[in-house]
Chain A
Amino acid sequence: MTTVAVKPATMAQALTRALRDAMAADPAVHVMGEDVGTLGGVFRVTDGLAKEFGEDRCTDTPLAEAGILGTAVGMAMYGLRPVVEMQFDAFAYPAFEQLISHVSRMRNRTRGRMPLPITIRVPYGGGIGGVEHHSDSSEAYYMATPGLHVVTPATVADAYGLLRAAIASDDPVVFLEPKRLYWSKDSWNPEEPVPVEPIGRAVVRRSGRSATLITYGPSVPVCMEAAEAARAEGWDLEVVDLRSLVPFDDETVCASVRRTGRAVVVHESGSFGGPGGEIAARVTERCFHYLEAPVLRVAGFDVPYPPPMLERHHLPGVDRILDAVGRLQWEAES
């Protein structure tokens, strides 16, 4: 485990720092994508990298997501560690064939001889007033593909630690960046060095006894806010930040649910066929006898991501979470 002291102002800056440190530490790390070079990325996450490491290491590619990921496969075959940017969530869809038919299974089909250490950075999720195709939460697609790791930070420190871990991983990692947290300077911004440990562990962001909110990425701050608000109603909520959707940390999640006996899964992406269904099923299978109520889901509606002027009605907010928490009073209802 390595530790690096970071005091970045925002999540975007923490990501930039992680990329720069990874490139400095290992000449095999190459950043590539549309606008990542001269412009520094539309969110400025790759700012300054082309200048510092040259355009061969931080490359503006032609505008073609399948080509970006497809050429990254060949580069990884030759020993490089490409970090590709998909610019916006829904822009990644042209690259899905490369992702699913090759990136995710090259290790498997070659019996371990050809692992592909590729990091795929996908800015995802809504809440920034983006127009159509700029706010999707596609994590269920990635989660459903064996061979991929899927991680998403919710804090400035995790943005650094998880990205370093993703780049260091010998397997492909889909690194989901919550767009609306890019400029956040969260309250738990560490003054301490950031641990870089293998991905796959969830953390308890807030301890509580009444119920567990299981969440990740952009919904973590919302759940923290809901937990504060719930105190007024006598609820002491625990918040578990998954950080890694694949691998899934059953241990941390189930330990929490067994303590509290009640759970709500919160995420932005749709409910039907979404991550929450998988998480609720896992929790129910493992914690059934500890549960005082069904595991509930608070998610985005099962609609195409709405236009920006309506997105506040779609995104799970504090009130919707508190409403679900209220419904955990199972005994009272029956």
Chain B
Amino acid sequence: MTVMEQRGAYRPTPPPAWQPRTDPAPLLPDAEPYRVLGTEAAAKADPELLRTLYAQLVRGRRYNAQATALTKQGRLAVYPSTTGQEACEIAAALVLKEQDWLFPSYRDTLAVVARGVDPVEALTLLRGDWHTGYDPYEHRVAPLCTPLATQLPHAVGLAHAARLKGDDVVALAMVGDGGTSEGDFHEALNFAAVWQAPVVFLVQNNGFAISVPLAKQTAAPSLAHKAVGYGMPGRLVDGNDAAAVHEVLSDAVRHARAGGGPTLVEAITYRVDAHTNADDATRYRGDAEVETWREHDPIQLLERELTARGLLDEAGKQAARDAAEAMAADLRAHMNKDPALDPMDLFAHVYAEPTTQLRDQREQLRAELEAAAETAPEGGTHR
């Protein structure tokens, strides 16, 4: 029998009929980002919520300005501003219940503060006196995470553990558009969907990963579209519309709390300031583009809505500004003091019990400090 005859005789069994496991249609994001302010939906928005959002946005904008100023004064090593992104930051903090957890990236100091963490403690990492200044368990806020997207699997694991214990806990994890290219983004979303973990992923698409624009970051129709491939719903929202971000995140949190699993929310926003004080944004974007986004400012959008509905007058605006100014003054006063550092803290929290190697090194440093103290001039300090 020839080879061809053999092949002719070969009758493969047909593959079993393949069915997609889920209908992808309900998972797909809308074509246009969801908006509330300036639309018919705005009339249904709760006035009290809008007022709260407004006061928080004004406070957040002032916080961004103050922290940026502290960087210029050398009081902060670096500050990645969220000016223009305040709606995302505030909404992320406000949609969570007390028992829920927030997993911020390094840019999300504002969300951390809005969650209730002391503004000075929230800046400890960026000031440089310790890596995390606050107790993560006090407000259920994970440490600010500098590596990109690596905090996302933590959020999944924590939410999964809470559900295993029968606790009503949702985790909201924040990441930027650049972070969606990282492997940990993929692994976190995949684990979350497979485990049906009560997690909400919030991507703040602010247009740039330092200097690289979104078009060079992904070829996906939108970042929210990525959700479909994991089997979770993707939502697209105007990230400068505080009412819309709040509503979409609230829906996602409710969905997670009810056992519906994770959601990926992409909020389209813009980083008006540079990446940090070390960045020259004029090298990769024009003033005209920035100006367009300044006109779509989250505070102004909300202010217009509140004013049109008669929910905000000049006195109300002034009250919000005064509260923000008091926060800024307090922050300045605390940040202008030199932090009291104990060099021996270097060895304090490496292990539950220091190894003999660390004990030896601790004694070496102690001897160095004592020697320095002896030779220091009267009243002098070593820094």
Per-position binary interface string of chain A over residues 107-143, scored 1 when its CB falls under 8 Å from any chain B CB and 0 otherwise: 1111111110000000000000000000000000000
Chain B residues, CB < 8 A from A149: 351
Given contacts A70-B157, A73-B157, contact A98 B150 (CB under 8 A): yes
Contact across chains for B191 and A110 when beta carbons are under 8 A apart: no
The reply on A334 being an interface residue by CB < 8 A is no
Chain A residues, CB < 8 A from B158: 74-75, 77-78
Nearest Cβ on chain B to A137's Cβ, whole angstroms? 22
Given contacts A62-B194, A109-B132, A146-B350, contact A67 B147 (CB under 8 A): no
Contact across chains for B191 and A64 when beta carbons are under 8 A apart: yes
Chain A residues, CB < 8 A from B160: 71, 74-75
Contact across chains for B349 and A108 when beta carbons are under 8 A apart: yes
Contact across chains for A248 and B190 when beta carbons are under 8 A apart: no
Per-position binary interface string of chain A over residues 209-252, scored 1 when its CB falls under 8 Å from any chain B CB and 0 otherwise: 00000000000000000000000000000000000001111110
Contact across chains for A170 and B190 when beta carbons are under 8 A apart: no
Set B130, B150, B187, B351: member contacting A64, Cβ < 8 A: B187
Q: Once bound together, how far apart are the Cα atoms of A171 and B165, in whole Å? A: 22
The reply on A97 being an interface residue by CB < 8 A is yes
Cβ-closest chain A residue relative to B197:
A71
Interface size grouping (class) on chain B:
35 or more
Q: Which of B95-154 contact A (CB under 8 A)?
A: 130-132, 135-137, 142-143, 147, 150, 152-154
Contact across chains for A71 and B131 when beta carbons are under 8 A apart: no
Contact across chains for B154 and A74 when beta carbons are under 8 A apart: yes
The reply on A147 being an interface residue by CB < 8 A is yes
Chain B residues, CB < 8 A from A74: 153-161, 171
Nearest Cβ on chain A to B43's Cβ, whole angstroms? 40
Contact across chains for A114 and B188 when beta carbons are under 8 A apart: no
Set B135, B150, B152, B161: member contacting A80, Cβ < 8 A: B161
Query: What DSSP secondary structure best describes chain B's contact surface?
Result: helix
Contact across chains for B131 and A67 when beta carbons are under 8 A apart: no
Set A71, A97, A114, A247: member contacting B156, Cβ < 8 A: A71
Given contacts A62-B194, A247-B357, contact A97 B352 (CB under 8 A): no
The reply on A79 being an interface residue by CB < 8 A is yes
Chain A residues, CB < 8 A from B335: none
Contact across chains for A77 and B349 when beta carbons are under 8 A apart: no
Nearest Cβ on chain B to A60's Cβ, whole angstroms? 10
Contact across chains for A112 and B348 when beta carbons are under 8 A apart: yes
Cβ-closest chain A residue relative to B187:
A67
The reply on A61 being an interface residue by CB < 8 A is yes
Closest 7 CB pairs of A and B: A74-B157, A70-B153, A67-B187, A71-B157, A109-B131, A247-B355, A74-B158
Given contacts A70-B154, A78-B158, A250-B356, 18 further A-B contacts (CB under 8 A): A62-B191, A64-B191, A67-B184, A70-B152, A70-B184, A71-B154, A71-B160, A74-B157, A74-B158, A74-B160, A76-B157, A77-B161, A110-B131, A110-B136, A111-B130, A198-B353, A247-B357, A248-B356
Q: A residues touching B (Cβ–Cβ < 8 Å)?
A: 56, 61-62, 64, 66-67, 69-80, 82, 94, 97-98, 101-102, 105-115, 146-147, 149, 169-171, 198, 200, 246-251
